Amino acid sequence: MQNWDDLRLFLAVAREQSLSGAGKVLRLDPATLGRRMGRLEKAMQMALFVKSPQGYALTQAGEELLVRAGAVEQAMRGASVGDVAQSETLSGQIRLGAPDGCANYLLPQVCAAIARENPQLDIQIVALPRVFNLTRREADMAIGVSAPTAGRLVVRQVTQYKLHLAASDSYLAQHSAISDVADLNQHQMVGYISDMIFDRELDYLADLGAGRVALASNSVSVQVNMLRQGAGVGVVHDFSLAFAPELRRVLTDEVSLTRAFYLIRHVDDARNLRLARFADALSAGLREEVARLEALVG
C-alpha cells in the first residue's frame, strides 16, 4: 500500500484531471506533481493516467486506486474531531465567472462570507458581460442569466430575481410624469448597447417596445451610475437599488420582470468534492443575498 502523501497527491490530480488544477488545490508546482505521479506509477508498475493536452484521465487501474484512496481519505477524516474540522475547510484557488451585475452587487458579500469561513481559500471573481467558456477553463464555474443548452455542462438554477424601471429623484422631478409604458417614448432611455447584448434575456427594452437608447453601456453598473446622475429611465435589478438610494422604481405594476441566475459547471468536475462544496455555499449565499436586498426595496 502506498503512503498517504502519495495518495493525497494522486486524489488531487484524479479529481482535478490536470496537474495545473491539482497544483492550485495543493499549492504545489505542476512539474513537481508530474514527477510524483510518474514515481507513483513506476512504484505500482502500472499506468494510472492517460495523459493528453486535455489533461489527465484515469485508466482502469487509476479508477480502482481512486476508490481505494477515497476510502483511506474518509477513514482519516474520521480519525478525530480536529481532523474532521480541518477537512471541512476549503483551500486552494477557485475562479468564478459572472455577469457584472451579479459580480458588483451580490458576489462581494457572498464570497466575503465564504472566505471568512475558509481562510485558506483564494476566490477570484471575473466580472465580464459575456458567456464564459468552461471547456477552455476560463473559470472553474460560472454564473449565467440563462441555461446553456450546448456543451458538456452541469447547470442548475440558483435563484430568481426581479427587475423594474427606475429613474433618479432629480430626473423625475424635472421631466413629465410616467403614467404608462407609452410615456417612455417621451423620456431618455438608459440601457444596453444593442449589438453587445450577449444574452437574449438581457434585451429588456426591446421587450418593452422602447425605441432609441440615448445612453448605453454593456455594463449593468455603468447603467446604474448613469441613472443615478439623472440620465434617464432604465431597467435595473431590484437588488441593486440598495446601493443607489437616488433611484426610484416607476411603473411597478405595469413593468415587472423576472429572471434567474444559473450556476454552470463543466461535467468533468462533477465528482470534484471541493468545487461541489463551494458551489453549494455559493448558491445558498446568492439566494439569501438576493432575498435580503429585494426585501429592502419592498
> Coil, strand or helix: which one is 50?
strand
Highest mean pLDDT among 41-55, 121-135, 229-243: 229-243
- Phi, psi dihedrals of residue 50, rounded to the nearest 5°: -100, 115
Determine contact, residues 72/6, Cβ cutoff 8 Å.
no
Mean pLDDT, residues 285-296? 96
C-alpha dihedral (85, 87, 92, 94), degrees to nearest 10: -90
Judged by phi (left if over 0) then psi (alpha if -120 to 50, else beta), residue 221 lies in alpha
pLDDT value at residue 83: 39
Q: Which residue has the cell 507513483?
A: 40
Q: Specify whether domain 91-159+260-297 bears CATH 3.40.1360.10.
A: no
- Phi, psi dihedrals of residue 159, rounded to the nearest 5°: -165, 155
Summarised one tens digit per residue, pLDDT across range 89-115 is 788 889 999 999 999 999 999 999 999
pLDDT confidence bin for 134, thresholds 50/70/90: low
Mean pLDDT, residues 177-182? 91
- Locate 75 and state its grid cell: 477513514
**What is the rounded average pLDDT for all residues in the chain?**
86
Mean pLDDT, residues 117-145? 79
The domains spanning 4-87 and 160-257 adopt the same CATH topology: no
- Residue 13: DSSP 8-state: H
pLDDT at 163 exceeding the cut of 50 = yes
Mean pLDDT, residues 113-137? 79
CA distance 216 to 213: 6
- Identify the residue with better confidence: 231 or 72: 231
Q: Specify whether domain 4-87 bears CATH 3.40.50.300.
A: no
Mean pLDDT, residues 49-71? 86
Single pTM value for the model: 0.69
DSSP per-residue codes, 96-141 = EEE-HHHHHHTHHHHHHHHHHH-TEEEEEEEE-SS---TTTTS-SE
pLDDT confidence bin for 157, thresholds 50/70/90: very high
Mean pLDDT, residues 157-183? 94
Give me the percent of the chain exceeding a pLDDT of 70: 89
Listed by start position, the domains of the chain span 4-87, 91-159+260-297, 160-257
CA distance 205 to 4: 58
Mean pLDDT, residues 187-197? 85
Judged by phi (left if over 0) then psi (alpha if -120 to 50, else beta), residue 22 lies in alpha
Highest mean pLDDT among 1-5, 15-19, 150-154, 158-162: 158-162
CA neighbor of 290 nearest in space, from 112, 160, 99, 117: 160
Determine contact, residues 133/235, Cβ cutoff 8 Å.
no
CA neighbor of 54 nearest in space, from 27, 23, 21, 29: 21
Give me the percent of the chain exceeding a pLDDT of 90: 52
pLDDT value at residue 131: 58
pLDDT value at residue 85: 40
- Taking the chain, what is the end-to-end CA distance rounded to the nearest angstrom? 61
**Angle, nearest 10°, between helix axes 4-16 and 30-44?**
120
pLDDT confidence bin for 214, thresholds 50/70/90: confident
- Identify the residue with better confidence: 226 or 4: 226
Mean pLDDT, residues 186-194? 89
pLDDT at 82 exceeding the cut of 50 = no
pLDDT value at residue 80: 38
CATH number given to 160-257: 3.40.190.10
